[in-house]
Structure 1
Amino acid sequence: MTPAETAQRLPYARLAAEIRTLLADDSVHVPERIVQPLPGGGSLFVMPAHDSRIAMTKLITFTPSNAGTGRPTIQGDVVVFDIATGERRLVLDGPTVTARRTAAVSLLAAQLLAPNTEGPLLIVGAGAQGRAHLEAFVDGLGVREVMIASRSETSANALADHARGLGLKSCVVADPGAALAQCPLIVTCTPANAVVLRGTPRDDAFIAAVGAFTPGMVELDPALCRHCAEHGLVVVDTPEAIHEAGDLLQAGLDVSAFATLRRVLMDAPAANRRPVLFKSCGWAGWDLAAARLAISA
């Protein structure tokens, strides 16, 4: 499928609902993903998963050096098979699945955990994930105002224009840390090669940090992470974050002590624990949820 055809099958609110359903499905099996380092700093990801009906594998490359070149940093496909017959049912566009399922996971976390969903929304990083999170939070939370920060002024302005095209009030900000005082919803989705967000979040803040998915990557200032752990609530997407959540690991935090998104669904978090930091590292289960939704469309 083309990127547009893949996106059409994966509306954000419905994908978030499918992810919630998947987390309660005991037939889901997700092996550890294979990450093969490549010459030049890139990586090859092989991410299989299955439930009782379908099996899928996401096969993608991640090439950080493509940033700013016009070539995507993530390329590849998601191949979906029928378990009963072994038949290949779908081939979805990998970057589109990655962007939309990541944003849908953040949306689900915000629906479950955010103390204040009215916005404004602060997005740090104006690439594919910034656009996907903007669209997801509009679709699933009804956000009407967004502030955008990016090291690329061109990208920031383009995302702000896209937001206005969706009917939102939008602006570009130079210092995302200064915008924390105005924004209860924050998403960081950068290449994660340096700290991009410093400062103290509001007591009613929800932060989704999605850019750093290896121990060596970082977006959030360690002091910000420690503040959320001490005064609020930290939730990780899956148990695998114990060795992937660069922001938390570099802050010296015990990642194993934090609840996962599945645990949040099973046991309501303490209502007085805020601000909330949701650390997302990625999981083939999210791709399986996308495959389940796409195949039912």
Structure 2
Amino acid sequence: MSDAILSPDQTARALPYSALAQEIATLLQDPTVAVPPRIVQALQGGGSLFVMPAADAQVAITKLISFIPGNAERGLPTIQGDIVVFDVQTGQRVALLDGPTVTARRTAAVSLLAAQQLAPRRDGPMLIVGAGVQGRSHLEAFHQGLGVQEVWVASRSRASADALVAHAHSMGLQARRVDEPNAALADCPLVVSTTPAQQVVLTARPRSDAFVAAVGAFTPRMVEWSAEVCQHLARTGTLVVDTRDADHEAGDLLQAGLDVSTLPSLADVVGQTVAWQNAHRPADGPVFFKSCGWGGWDLAAARCLERTRAQQG
């Protein structure tokens, strides 16, 4: 393995969504993977600094990124930083990946894997609430990995929504902007919420055959979905979290007063563990997948990169 510093475009090309989703599934069943709790340092002004290490038998990574919600108003990215990849045996740095690109693609790939495993329906239309970087990456991932052909986009910024609709059209998809996401829930069996999660946005109940990937809220203080909706989903549907870190980070569910520690994780679903087999899963009912983020997803991206480089010789 030789040292490589990848630009955002190079990082994206090295991480195809479907291949990354498969690598995530493989990582979840790898007993050598070690991911300590991430460090979240609060910054003055409302931002956060994240330090996220992870390792397996071959590769070690450290992700160092900042999250500044107010940057959207400054015309700057809300997430900035890098991921450093090391060879475990020699300790040499083998790659430096663009942090925002990895974050966008691995988060969408996690949602894609969850949808592949859990979505009652895959035909769409797909509703995306929040038309930023994550909205775009989820649009691309669900098109490539699930074959979604129609997407509806809702955003507090009409310009952002229209831009994402235009991107969908450029991919050959049917797409339109919707101004009332809560009303649109009744028509969309696939839903992804990627808002800034500073306040409740979604107050209507998803369809009984819906799959929801709730991505925007990744700290206990953040929230996108109302407490009433989350409580309804807990009674009538299936709730799954990305990892056990969600036990103390899943703002939507924690603010609804739910015991997140009792919910199955994506690793339980992929591994078909006893926890998943015993989970309450009605024959008919929505699936709500809560994604909070984990350093293991970035490790999966590093593994995917090395696999791609090996295949390319």
- Give TM class, smaller chain: over 0.9
* Matched pairs, number: 297
Verify the 8 A CA contact 2:136 2:164 in the aligned structure 1.
yes
Aligned residue in 2 for 1:288: 299
Aligned residue in 2 for 1:148: 153
CA deviation map 1:245-279 (0-9, x unaligned): 00001111111111000011222654615200000
Aligned partners of 2:99, 2:147: CA distance in 1, in Å?
Answer: 27
1:119-158 equivalences under 5 Å are: 119-158=124-163
1:1-297 equivalences under 5 Å are: 1-267=6-272, 270=281, 272=283, 274-297=285-308
Deviation, 1:11, is: 0.5
Provide the secondary structure at the position in 2 that maps to 1:211: coil
Letter in 1 for 2:182: G
Verify the 8 A CA contact 2:47 2:67 in the aligned structure 1.
yes
Provide the secondary structure at the position in 2 that maps to 1:64: coil
Letter in 1 for 2:263: F
CA deviation map 1:102-155 (0-9, x unaligned): 000000000000000110000000000000000000000000000000001110
Aligned partners of 2:26, 2:285: CA distance in 1, in Å?
Answer: 26
Verify the 8 A CA contact 1:50 1:288 in the aligned structure 2.
yes
Aligned partners of 1:58, 1:6: CA distance in 2, in Å?
Answer: 14
Aligned partners of 1:91, 1:242: CA distance in 2, in Å?
Answer: 31
User: TM-score, normalized by length of structure 2?
Assistant: 0.93
Provide the secondary structure at the position in 1 that maps to 2:73: coil
Letter in 2 for 1:90: A
Provide the secondary structure at the position in 1 that maps to 2:162: helix
Verify the 8 A CA contact 2:186 2:207 in the aligned structure 1.
yes
Letter in 2 for 1:14: A
Letter in 2 for 1:146: V
Deviation, 1:69, is: 2.3
Q: Please list every run of 5 or more consecutive structure 1 residues that lacks an aligned counterpart in the other structure.
A: none
What is the Cα-based RMSD across aligned positions, in Å? 1.0
Q: Please list every run of 5 or more consecutive structure 2 residues that lacks an aligned counterpart in the other structure.
A: 1-5, 309-313
Deviation, 1:228, is: 1.1
Verify the 8 A CA contact 1:90 1:295 in the aligned structure 2.
no
CA deviation map 1:46-93 (0-9, x unaligned): 000000001000000111110132200000000000011111000000
Provide the secondary structure at the position in 1 that maps to 2:200: strand
Verify the 8 A CA contact 1:233 1:273 in the aligned structure 2.
no
Provide the secondary structure at the position in 1 that maps to 2:201: strand
The verdict on how the C-alpha distance between 1:14 and 1:123 changes in structure 2, with shifts beyond 3 A counting, is same
Aligned partners of 2:200, 2:158: CA distance in 1, in Å?
Answer: 18
Aligned partners of 2:147, 2:74: CA distance in 1, in Å?
Answer: 33
Provide the secondary structure at the position in 1 that maps to 2:33: coil
Letter in 2 for 1:284: G
Deviation, 1:227, is: 1.3
Provide the secondary structure at the position in 2 that maps to 1:207: strand
Provide the secondary structure at the position in 2 that maps to 1:103: helix
Say which is worse superposed, 265-274 or 111-120, in terms of deviation: 265-274
